[in-house]
Structure 1
Amino acid sequence: MITNSMISPVGLLPNINALQTTKETTPAEATESFATFLKSAIDGVAAQEQNVHKVNDQFLIGEVDENKVIIAATQAELSLSLTAQVRNKVIEAYQEIMRMQM
């Protein structure tokens, strides 16, 4: 992940290492863990959107330059794009599971 003293990293994905455990988990625990992972990822996208609005407001009153606005907008766009791609993959996986014969 690229970091800069003026730019914070995109924080879309939560710490993946926190999800990996060495013990066996039950299906309910795995489902809860996955749901928590998705919720935190979506919260990260929402935070990016809020950041864009905040930076836009600061730009309008002259506190930041246009480069920060462009960077914030691009980060939010990439976060949303990644979220849409993950959603599409989840839907494809679900459809594939539904096509399986038992």
Structure 2
Amino acid sequence: MIQAMNFNTLKSIDSAVTPKSPVSPTPAESIKEFSSFLTDAINGVAAQEKNVGTMNEKFLLGEVSADQVMIASEQAMLSLQLTTQVRNKVIEAYQEIMRTQI
């Protein structure tokens, strides 16, 4: 299973690295791509937090071990911290652009 995941990861990285077209996207397309990336990332964090809630309930019922619950909660916490840091950097970049004098 781990080997299959690594192969899929390498395959997706390879497709991301290979240029798809020599034409650069327009600013509107770039904004749309960035917003969809952020939406997907936030939805992923929300899904991880729902998974932690499910794991907690299963732990109370004795269906999963404490290790599994801790791993799921740490993953959700790290994802939330990463999302917060990305948000902070975006706000910082916006504020820097607003301070730029023309």
TM-score by length of 2: 0.80
The one-letter amino acid of 1:28's match is: A
Question: Separation in 2 of the partners of 1:56 and 1:4?
Answer: 25
Identity, % of aligned positions: 55
Structure 2 match to 1:40? 40
Question: Separation in 1 of the partners of 2:54 and 2:67?
Answer: 14
Question: Separation in 2 of the partners of 1:99 and 1:91?
Answer: 12
**Structure with the greater relative contact order (CA < 8 A, sep ≥ 6): 1 or 2?**
1
Q: Which has the higher helix share?
A: 2
Aligned residues: 91
| Cα pair distance change 1:34/1:21, threshold 3 Å | farther
| Cα pair distance change 1:47/1:78, threshold 3 Å | same
Question: Separation in 1 of the partners of 2:2 and 2:42?
Answer: 23
Structure 1 segments, 4+ long, off by >3 Å, are none
Structure 1 match to 2:68? 68
Structure 2 match to 1:80? 80
Question: Separation in 2 of the partners of 1:77 and 1:4?
Answer: 23
Question: Separation in 1 of the partners of 2:39 and 2:71?
Answer: 24
The one-letter amino acid of 1:32's match is: K
Shift of 1:24: 1.3
Instruction: Give the number of the structure whose alpha-carbon radius of gyration is greater.
Output: 2
CA RMSD of aligned residues (A): 2.4
1:13-28 aligned at under 5 Å gives the runs 17=16, 21-22=20-21, 23-28=23-28
Question: Separation in 2 of the partners of 1:21 and 1:99?
Answer: 36
TM-score by length of 1: 0.80
Long gaps (5+) in structure 1:
9-14
